[in-house]
Structure 1
Amino acid sequence: MSASPEVGYGFADADDSYVESGALDGAGFDGPDVGDGDFGGGGGGGGVRRFGRRVRRRFVLIAVALIVLLAAAAIWLVAFSSVFGVRTVTVRGTHVTSAAQVRAAAKVVIGTPVVRVDTNAIRQRVERLAVVARAEVSTSFPHTVTITVVERQPVGYVRSAGKVELIDRAGLRYRTVPAAPHGLPRLVLPSGRSAASRSVARVAAALPASLRARLKSIQALDPVAITLVLRDGQLVQWGSATRNVAKARVLAPLLRHQVAQVDVSDPDLPFTR
């Protein structure tokens, strides 16, 4: 019986093919590697993340540039253009002087940006007006400068070289008027004595307006012997310009009596004659 030819079912070939496949792998043939990054592995995720970071950086740079441009435009609009420039100058508190005089002294340049208005310089210029005791200057958006003045209040007057000059509570001669004002005493002072002027002004300012209106004059030829002369002829010995409030307080009830003279030089021991 002759040997039957060997029937192959592919096992040997299959084994050979497996061996050959392994041999090919060993020889350097590379098949697709799912972990290599091209088919959803870790390398592909890194590329996406890098792309995302680049997009975010560009977005941040664009946003920063826009913010800088907007800030620069806002600064120019507010501080350097006339869009928010001065258009109105409001004046308050005037009685003797006029709003036009205050505006002329203030020298506010229309169109100046409100944020660049020098309120301190304006205040100083307005306070150079003789009748202004003090001034306040403020700004408000979009277009307004407001100047509020407090005018000097006279407490008496002096006659000098044929002129009538008003004196405020600080002893400053600040305004010339055509005639002696009603309700204010004449201040009789030694010539060239500014200290006496200040002393008498303090005395007059300490008196209530109703009592000041009854005075004909306040005489201070001697600074420690100031005398008040009332319109009805009564005399008040005031003494020096000290404790003025206390003296004014005790004087009012004493003048209700029909007396020729009152002495309040010591307000703790006043007496009448």
Structure 2
Amino acid sequence: ALKCHYCGYQEAYPRACPQCGSKHIKNFGLGTQKVEAELQQLFPAARLLRMDYDTTRRKGSHHRILDAFERKEYDILLGTQMVAKGLDFSNVTLVGVLAADASLNLPDYRSSEKTFQLITQVAGRTGRGNKPGRVIVQSYQPEHYAIQYASHHDYTGFFKKELGIRRQFTYPPFSHIIRVLITGQNEKEVVQYAKNMLKWIKDKAAADEALNSGLLDLGVYEAPIQRINDKYRWQVLIRIHQGIHVKEAWHRLSESLIHKFYREDITVTLDFNPLSLI
């Protein structure tokens, strides 16, 4: 069965495409359980340890897994991004990154930065002792600049390339982004709430020179992850120019917005320059 880890929804695995009816359908990508099964076939004598959402649900399980690996009770530690940073094992000499470019396809202007960061961090888990380390990166887009610069440990090169792209499209740090996330259990009410909020912001901006002159983009959208824990998610995204007066004006509007649109059954979360737009 297929199961969403965000909302818990389950359905039977489809035998044909629900859109066109074609039976030429298969999985894309590898989950940790699938990789574990493949590794067991390739290295039957190896002791495998898996660290992911399913194996770290219980309290203290995270530390128990890492302690067991540090005591050398296992030969291979397999995990999600939670094993990418902060670990210091002197005996690790090989690190593999599967589908390293998966995050490049996320609808977020920071996707390249996050991909570069992930590869750089996970590469730092190997060769931390006296033995040299090796990193193998598997990618469907090996020519992408984030993959290329990460594979050469070229932070300066990536920084210049990424900064040039953000300057071209006026993304932060050449602008500010304000994200207003609206969540609730009634989808129709959440959608209407978001649209009402958008209209209110437009009216306020039209009547205020500081707000209007600093506005680059304004719109309402369904969040890329549409529902989490039975709550539907929509967002109002605002992009504004740099400048202290513009920022202060939109800060004041944001405070008014929170008071104006307070409701117990709908949650409104406002974030300046959010770390994620997902």
Both proteins in one fold, TM over 0.5? no
Structure number with higher relative contact order (C-alpha < 8 Å, ≥ 6 residues apart):
2
Give the greater-gyration-radius structure (CA). 1
- Taking structure 2 as the reference length, the TM-score comes to 0.19
Provide the TM-score with structure 1 as the length reference: 0.20
